[in-house]
Amino acid sequence: MAPLAQAWGGELPEFASAEEVEEVMQVIVQGLWNRLSEHQSTRNPFRLPRFEVSPTRQALHDLARTRAQELKGFVDGLFGTDDEMLLPQKAHEAVVALAELHAMFAGAAGLLADESKPAPDQELKGLLRNMQQMTIAADEQINKAVQSCKRARGQRLETMATVMSRKIMSAGDRDSEERDLSGRDNEEPDFIESPLSQTVTRNGVTVRVDIYGDSNGRWILEIVDGENTSHVWDEHFETDQQALNEALRALDEEPLEFLGRGAKQPLN
């Protein structure tokens, strides 16, 4: 509920009725929150919104400012109310890269807002192309951070982790954060998502089954239920098919484990 309260400045408002509470939960949790959680799958990567932009000073200023706000919003959402977080190495690298992109977008917005600076048409066209490429890079880094955090959760944070301060978004701290990365580029192993990962409905219960390899050639099993609660198996499996078989067994034999608040509802 803490992230939800942030929408109202840190404290939830008073609701006039239980119906109002239910409406807010449906819109924010069942709607927005669940749609965002779908981007944890590599098959549904997150993309910043795209829109037509003409190569004019005002249009490029608005685009640069919007992108800077979006990247800051992602980091604010990642950190929540915390000033520091323990992040996996690749997520750390992604946030550093996002800080650099944020600084470039914010810098471009500042320059474009200064009417005393010349802005030839040809340079504006080149800047638009650059910002389009920067947007693609931002997409990649956001998804890198999301996937790294998801995999670390599956590994129970056994991989290398780094304390990162949210001050990374300020230009004064960027260089020191980059130096903190030296000599640690490859400490977090790469993971591969199994093609057997899928959405499954059994006994009236719909869940997301995610299967991905660990650094030792074995397979991690995670089931994410309809309330976005993660169920990660301590056991790692020899094959991804064994992991899927275990997921189907659990859904057949223990369906109530994956119903959450809906556990009181009769099964189909």
Domain boundary among 147, 179, 211: 179
- 70 and 121 assigned to the same domain: yes
Domain boundary among 179, 213, 231: 179
- 50 and 152 assigned to the same domain: yes
How far is Cα 231 from Cα 66, in angstroms, rounded to an integer? 36
Give tens-digit pLDDT for 21-31.
888 877 777 67
- 35 and 50 assigned to the same domain: no
How far is Cα 61 from Cα 113, in angstroms, rounded to an integer? 7
Residue-number span of the structural domain to which 35 is assigned: 1-40
Look up the pTM and report it. Answer: 0.58
- Position 218 scores a pLDDT of 84
Domain boundary among 179, 212, 247: 179
Residue 112 lies in a domain: yes
Residue 15 lies in a domain: yes
The count of domains in the chain is 3
- 168 and 68 assigned to the same domain: yes
Q: Are 117 and 7 in contact (CB under 8 A)?
A: no
- 107 and 66 assigned to the same domain: yes
Residue 101 lies in a domain: yes
Residue 192 lies in a domain: no
Give tens-digit pLDDT for 218-261.
888 888 877 667 677 878 899 999 999 999 999 888 888 777 54
Residue 185 lies in a domain: no
Q: How far apart are the first and last CA of the chain?
A: 31
- 170 and 251 assigned to the same domain: no
Of 188, 161, 245, the residue nearest 211 (C-alpha): 245
Give tens-digit pLDDT for 70-119.
999 898 888 877 778 778 888 888 999 999 999 999 999 999 999 998 88
Residue 186 lies in a domain: no
Q: Are 251 and 199 in contact (CB under 8 A)?
A: no
- 61 and 117 assigned to the same domain: yes
Mean pLDDT estimate for the chain: 78
Neighbouring C-beta atoms of residue 11, cutoff 10 Å: 8
- 160 and 61 assigned to the same domain: yes
Residue 57 lies in a domain: yes
- 140 and 214 assigned to the same domain: no
Sequence-separated (6 or more) residues with CB below 8 Å from residue 231: 222, 223, 224, 225, 257, 258
Judged by average pLDDT, the poorest of 32-36, 51-55, 183-187, 253-257 is: 183-187
Residue 258 lies in a domain: yes
- 117 and 142 assigned to the same domain: yes
